[in-house]
Structure 1
């Protein structure tokens, strides 16, 4: 039962088994899932979901990699979901603050997705440091850090667009 639950969480209900590029599939599925959470409970429920998802993902990753040499198998995509949620958080915050639909901020969705994937794949600076930990916490942290860097990029792009170009 524990292994099955860990597998469901770690693969985000088997999304991690989609080929090619399971990490990209995980990031893609994170967007409608995050939208659903936001629609149900708003920005604060979305923030709680990030924290709860991080700890569930850490647990699931530990369970799935226990006794294995591979600390980050490609089918584990819960880390991509949480990292993508961190990246999209400024968009949801902006929509919540302005009391508008998150869909009106669609360029932020695109920027969050593209920046997160770039940071997750290239693993610059702290992202690479976390990935080199070779443990379940590192699996989760590298994507959270990539998400934070992407979120900063989303804010900078929004500021540039709204305050420089407009």
Structure 2
């Protein structure tokens, strides 16, 4: 029995997992889909923080649930596209960017810094991030971006300590 033909990225948008995996369509950008996915993540974070989550406990619960859902959706989409980690899947950018944003004050300059640092680490993939891509399925898709989020968060926390009086 032959496997079905791969789905196109646009066809994924017909399913809720596709909306998540493609970052509400950010992954369909004709260039730099990861950057567009990260921009979507910052905008969603701003809406979430403004609307519902001044409390750090709620933010942590949201982040844990989002990481699980982003991983599941990335796995779902990669199986339908029949590719390991296609560029159109940006739910990994959502999860990693949100991890970096968790560690900064609720102010646009900090959010911009989190965005820039996350993108630098996500694109550059310093050790051992590239190894994390070898993990299976959605876990391998998301793990390296979570590491980029951790690296960005560490620098941002250090900057906060140095800037604070």
Q: TM-score, normalised by structure 1?
A: 0.82
Q: Return the alpha-carbon distance in structure 2 between the equivalents of residues 119 and 127 of structure 1.
A: 9
1:49 aligns with 2:51: no
Unaligned runs of 5+ in 2: 1-11
Matches within 5 A, 1:1-166: 4-39=15-50, 40-42=52-54, 43-66=56-79, 70-91=83-104, 95=105, 102-103=106-107, 106-133=108-135, 135-163=137-165
Flag as ranges the 4+ runs of structure 1 deviating above 6 A.
none
Of stretches 40-49 and 16-25 in structure 1, the one that deviates more from structure 2 is 40-49
Alignment coverage as a number of residue pairs: 151
Offset of 1:45 from its aligned partner? 2.4
Unaligned runs of 5+ in 1: 96-101
Q: Return the alpha-carbon distance in structure 1 between the equivalents of residues 35 and 66 of structure 2.
A: 18
CA RMSD of aligned residues (A): 1.9
Q: Return the alpha-carbon distance in structure 2 between the equivalents of residues 50 and 44 of structure 1.
A: 10
Q: TM-score, normalised by structure 2?
A: 0.82
User: Which string of whole-angstrom CA distances, capped at 9 and with x for unpartnered residues, describes residues 2-28 of structure 1?
Assistant: 972221110122121012101000111
